[in-house]
């Protein structure tokens, strides 16, 4: 066995992704599955430094679970990662528009669309070209049998498309994200709510004219986006003929690349769609394996599994890393928890993650700061839930070391409260845990709608003009956790979880499709070298 491994020519898979977990997690999960499905696979993971430690952890985990598998080889991409690029001061100031849940005015709709486009394409022209050259140099060095690329990683998409490399799309996005333009009878305009709006589904007849107007306006703004046009103009002067390719390109014209899209979604977890085109391959949730909570954090593990007189089912509140509370919204959430705890004799417990925001924690010129009003003596959480926190019924934490998926799979959580991020939604579905979703921007509204369409929970802030309102959210939490429909939500969640885990789950499905593509569409090293040279010729041998 060992001798065969040393002499075998490995199947080389090259993965290009942004380093943000929202995009990179499906690549980490699929890397693990590739290594454990076939020990003759060599995975090359190309991204930015923030994700490197997670790549190493995934590699070690795979080698522990599948002795003999090859380690993941990490390639650092030159240039700023997406978060660094979009968190420049001028961009952060613009992003405030994304946090306003109302789109009552056309001006606001335009503004939100422009901000979203800037966030998904945040690089300057020189940065974009630098990353393109780095991508091409890595491809030239690795000479892979197949390439998988993140659809939100525009520089890599543009480079690969320009050199006519063979690649597939690997994405946490849904079927709907790429299938909408192909629905018959113009349904994309009048059947499905415009992205980023709180319009309910099914779309009320009275909302259809406004919905059509907002979608057409968004399309027009996308076409005329000054940031995109400026970047395309710069690109044309540096690499003539390179077609700027973005997530918007794929969403509006998903068949443009003539390649497969491996999505972390299943038809049974999606809006009703009449057409699912053959190039979209539904794999299901692609989750990377995680160490058990008790192993990572014994104290939290013991609290979760407590079956003594103070034990009981757990509601897990985690709005991710990009949603922050102010004193008002923290108070509303605390009041919602209070309503839940007083709604039944069942001893429900709550695990609530409240992230702190850097220097603001220590206070500011007004003497406030999150540390004081959330965690400190006399803070809003203590005023509302002081007794519950002291007795351990409510556990408030700044950070959870264990992976969310491990926590959800631990068996104690009966409801996950989150902001509607794709990973949060998929992790809860995979674990069979009912959900309450508090959407805050763009596609998070779609995940709130999916939760209700699928019968696995509720949209928790439909009536609120802010993140949440205590009475509304409290009543919804009570309905999902202890109400008459609680057992129906739980049963439906379990059914979807069983479906997601069939045949190894989404990560195994994605890995097997990639391996099948290698068998059918292997690319020779000489061809890859020739294609790389198309981009590098006349551009300082690939160096910016």
Tell me the three-class secondary structure of 245-279, residue by residue: CCHHHHHHCHHHHCCCEEECCCHHHCCCCCCCCCC
Q: What is the dihedral of CA 308, 314, 317, 318, to 10 degrees?
A: 80
Share of the chain above pLDDT 70, in %: 85
Mean pLDDT of all residues in 393-405 = 93
Alpha helices (runs of H) in 207-285, residue ranges in sequence order:
208-224, 226-238, 247-252
Mean confidence (pLDDT) of the chain: 86
Where is average pLDDT lowest: 141-150, 214-223, 234-243, 495-504?
214-223
Q: What is the pLDDT of residue 310?
A: 61
| pLDDT band, residue 4 (cuts 50/70/90) | very low
Domains of the chain: 2-286+505-542 (3.40.50.2000), 293-499 (3.40.50.2000)
Q: Is 0.95 surpassed by the pTM of this model?
A: no
* 81 compared with 366, residue with greater pLDDT: 81
Tally of CB atoms within 10 A around 230: 12
From 459, 389, 456, 371, select the one nearest 418 (Cα to Cα).
459
Q: Given a cut of 70, is residue 525 above it in pLDDT?
A: no
The residue to which tokens 């102010």 are assigned: 326
Q: What is the pLDDT of residues 418-453, one digit of tens each?
A: 999 999 999 999 999 999 999 988 889 999 999 999
Does 413 score more than 70 pLDDT?
yes
Under the banding of pLDDT at 50, 70 and 90, the label for residue 544 is very low
Give 372's pLDDT tier (boundaries 50, 70, 90): low
Structure tokens at 420: 């509607």
For every residue of 30-77, DSSP letters joined together read HHHHHHHH-TTEEEEEEE-GGGHHHHHHHHHHHHHHSTTPPPPEEEEP
Q: How confident is the model at residue 541 (pLDDT cuts 50, 70, 90)?
A: very low
Query: In angstroms, rounded to a whole number, what is the distance separating the alpha carbons of residues 45 and 544?
Result: 22
Q: Before 202, cis peptide (omega within 30)?
A: yes
- Residue 376, pLDDT score: 59
Q: What is the pLDDT of residues 101-115, one digit of tens each?
A: 444 456 676 777 777
Give the pLDDT of residue 101.
45
């Amino acid at each position: 066995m060992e001798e065969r491994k040393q002499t075998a020519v490995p199947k080389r898979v090259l993965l290009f992704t942004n380093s943000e977990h929202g995009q990179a997690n499906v690549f980490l999960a699929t890397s693990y599955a590739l290594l454990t499905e076939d020990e003759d696979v060599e995975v090359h993971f190309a991204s930015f430094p923030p994700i490197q430690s997670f790549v190493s952890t995934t590699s070690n985990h795979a080698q522990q679970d599948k002795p003999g598998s090859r380690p993941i080889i990490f390639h650092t991409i030159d240039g700023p990662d997406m978060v660094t690029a979009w968190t420049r001061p001028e961009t952060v100031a613009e992003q405030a528009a994304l946090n306003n849940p109302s789109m009552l005015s056309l001006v606001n709709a335009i503004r939100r669309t422009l901000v979203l486009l800037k966030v998904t394409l945040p690089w300057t022209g020189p940065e974009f070209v630098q990353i393109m050259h780095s991508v091409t140099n890595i491809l030239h060095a690795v000479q892979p049998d197949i390439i998988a690329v993140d659809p939100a990683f525009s520089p890599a998409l543009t480079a690969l498309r320009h050199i006519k490399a063979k690649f597939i799309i690997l994405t946490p996005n849904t079927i709907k994200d790429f299938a909408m333009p192909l629905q018959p009878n113009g349904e994309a305009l009048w059947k499905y709510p415009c992205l980023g709006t709180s319009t309910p589904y099914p779309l009320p007849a009275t909302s259809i004219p406004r919905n059509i107007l907002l979608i057409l306006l968004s399309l027009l703004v996308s076409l005329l986006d000054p940031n995109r046009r400026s970047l395309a103009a710069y690109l044309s002067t540096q690499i003539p003929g390179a077609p700027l390719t973005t997530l918007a390109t794929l969403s509006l014209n998903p068949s443009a690349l003539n390649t497969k899209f491996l999505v972390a979604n299943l038809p049974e977890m999606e809006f009703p769609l009449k057409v699912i085109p053959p190039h979209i391959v539904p794999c299901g949730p692609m989750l990377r394996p995680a160490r058990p909570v008790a192993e990572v954090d014994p104290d939290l593990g013991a609290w979760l599994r407590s079956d003594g007189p103070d034990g009981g089912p757990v509601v897990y509140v985690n709005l991710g890393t990009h949603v922050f509370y102010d004193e008002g919204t923290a108070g509303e959430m605390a009041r919602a928890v209070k309503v839940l705890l007083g709604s039944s004799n069942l001893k429900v417990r709550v695990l609530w993650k409240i992230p702190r925001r850097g220097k603001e924690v220590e206070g500011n010129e007004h003497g406030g700061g999150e540390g004081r009003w959330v965690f400190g003596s006399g803070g809003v959480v203590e005023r509302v839930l002081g007794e519950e926190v002291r007795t351990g019924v409510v556990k408030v934490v700044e950070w959870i070391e264990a992976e969310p998926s491990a926590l959800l799979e631990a068996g104690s959580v009966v409801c996950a409260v989150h902001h509607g991020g794709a990973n949060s939604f998929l992790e809860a579905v995979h674990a069979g845990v009912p959900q309450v979703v508090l959407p805050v921007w763009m596609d998070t509204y779609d995940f709130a709608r999916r939760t209700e369409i699928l019968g696995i929970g509720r949209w928790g802030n439909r009536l609120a003009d802010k993140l949440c309102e205590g009475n509304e959210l409290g009543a919804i939490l009570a309905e999902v956790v202890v109400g008459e429909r609680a057992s129906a939500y739980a049963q439906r969640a379990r059914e979807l979880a069983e479906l997601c885990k069939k045949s190894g789950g989404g990560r195994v499905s994605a890995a097997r499709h990639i391996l099948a593509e290698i068998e059918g569409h292997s690319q020779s090293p000489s061809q890859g070298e020739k294609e790389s040279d198309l981009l590098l010729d006349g551009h300082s041998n690939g160096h910016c």
